[in-house]
Amino acid sequence: MLEDQVFCIPDLPVMNNGLNLRLPAGYTLMELLIVVLMLGIMVMAATPVLNSGLNDARLSGAAEEVVTALEFAQMTAATSGSRTRVTIDAALDTIVVERFSISIDLLGSESELDENDVEGGDFAFMERPMNRGVDYSISLPDESRFSGIDITAVAFGASNFVEFDTLGAPSDGGMVTLDMGDRQIVVALDSLAGKVTLSDC
């Protein structure tokens, strides 16, 4: 029975001193150079887009810091019943939030006080809301996240600061202009409602 069966054996490749059999090889130096060159071109093409996105994020972040300072000062004045002040210095590119402190001890005073005594006091730094124990004073040039941001204009009436009374109403409306390259953001404070808005220029 075995004699009737035919077995097929496939032809095996004939090796002629290893010349006909090619083993998989690695990449050539030329192929690697072409890949590196293509990656370099892609990085160079993407760099302006990445820088533009980073600059936009920095400018938006600085504008949000101005908004936060104004809204925090307004909320603190309304809830604590003490006046607050936000000073934005275009020359130094700084944002400062302060609260009015009465200099006389009302509880320890036994004599009758006149109006001047009660009004006596000064503004002092407030603490940053998310960083207790640190004065609410932001210098944009000193923080890497705001690198290159410039406060180009500040106008709250005729001054560079706005005060919020004990009800949270602003002493005046105004605008703060922040600039980076060819892009600007304007932070506006409404004089009546005290609402803060952002707009791109």
Question: Over its length of 201 residues, how does the chain's per-residue pLDDT go in tens digits?
Answer: 555 565 555 565 555 555 555 656 677 888 888 889 888 888 887 777 666 678 888 999 999 999 999 999 999 999 999 999 999 999 999 999 999 987 655 555 555 545 444 556 899 999 988 888 899 999 999 999 998 999 999 999 889 999 999 999 999 999 999 999 889 999 999 998 899 999 987
* The two three-digit tokens of residue 182, written as one number: 């060819």
pLDDT of residue 124: 93
- Give pLDDT, residue 164: 96
pLDDT at 84: 96
Q: Is 131 exposed, middle or buried (0-12, 13-18, 19+ CB in 10 A)?
A: exposed
Please say whether the beta carbons of 93 and 150 come within 8 A. yes
CATH for 31-200?
3.55.40.10
Please give the C-alpha separations between residue 48 and each of 54, 55, 147, 149, in angstroms, as whole numbers. 10, 10, 17, 18
6: amino acid identity, one letter: V
Residues 6+ apart with CB under 8 A from 127: 133, 134, 135, 136
How many other C-beta atoms lie within 10 A of the C-beta of residue 77? 24
Predicted model pTM: 0.69
